[in-house]
Amino acid sequence: MTLADEAINWYDTHARDLPWRQPETTPWGVLVSEVMLQQTPVVRVEPAWRSWMTRWPTPAALAADPQSEAVRMWGRLGYPRRAMRLHACAGAIVERHGGRVPDDLDQLLALPGVGTYTARAVATFAYGQRHPVVDTNVRRVVSRVVEGRPDAGPATTAADLTAMAELLPQEPARAARASIAFMELGAIVCTARAPKCVDCPFHAVCAWRLTGEPLPAGPSRKPQRYAGTDRQVRGLLLEVLRHATGPVPRQRLDVVWADEVQRARALAGLVEDGLVERFGADFILAGDTPRGEIQTL
């Protein structure tokens, strides 16, 4: 039995019941889930994904609304530029593909904000194609089981794609099943710091376990600090603008963070990134249509 067979058998019994994995989920639903899951845990994504798909079940539905509504709906998922990219992507899908998420890998890669991983994930998980889909979890599993190394390093390489491709069955649908199975194993069993080796279907053959190698001395990626960073300040500013019913004066934004220099830098960054626009002396979410009266303190 191959590693792919073992992974699929394990997945068929132990996979998490996630909404974007249901048979009725559209390719658009898969695309939205993949964008939301970038650098964000499943527990935070699931309710956001359900709300998003209820409001915008198709690319055309999202494209018909202004970009500001996508940013507003994104809430506190983090990295709100992803919401902007999804909105731009929806518009491109409507304009270029009649509202249907394309199944061709090159066409997926040509969509705004869709990179190599996301394009392969959609082609594989939405359309059952045979592509190596490699994220941090997959690289860790392959590195340990096949190469005997505790960690694959901080970034995906061409060698990672080749290594995964060699493990996939030839039949496309089964290869797609294997891809999600390897990913799930890395997410809930072969974890970075506390792997559950006794629960792993590769327990008897894992090269890393058999060599007795310890876990790496430190994380392969330096944890990103959030408290006190510009990211935190940007999030606080966006929170005010998302809930505003009209243009927000600078004084209202000034109260969210005491450090004037950092606050001004964060606000300028939001404007530069296209998330926020100036409205006279005030501010609104980019693409918003001002509603009601200008807020006052």
Per-domain residue ranges of the chain: 3-127, 136-211, 230-285
Identify the band that residue 245 occupies on the pLDDT scale cut at 50, 70 and 90.
confident
The residue from 6, 34, 69, 184 that is catalytic is 34
Q: What is the pTM assigned to this prediction?
A: 0.86
The architecture of the domain spanning 3-127 is Orthogonal Bundle (1.10)
- 285 CB-side CA count, 13 A: 27
**In contact, 119 and 109? CB cutoff 8 Å:** yes
Active site residue 34: yes
Query: How confident is the model over 40-67, as pLDDT tens digits?
Result: 999 999 999 999 999 999 999 999 999 9
3-class DSSP assignment, residue 77: coil
Domain 230-285 = CATH 1.10.10.10: yes
Which of 166-189 are b and which e, b meaning 16 or more Cβ less than 10 Å from the residue's Cβ?
ebbbeebebbbbbbbbbbbbbbeb
One fold for both 3-127 and 230-285?
no
pLDDT grade, residue 223 (50/70/90)? Answer: low
Quickly state the pLDDT bin for 291 (edges 50, 70, 90). low
Mean pLDDT for the stretch of residues 228-235: 89
CA-based R_g, the chain, Å: 22
What's the pLDDT tens digit per position in 181-208?
Answer: 999 999 999 998 899 999 999 999 999 9
Is residue 133 over pLDDT 80?
A: yes
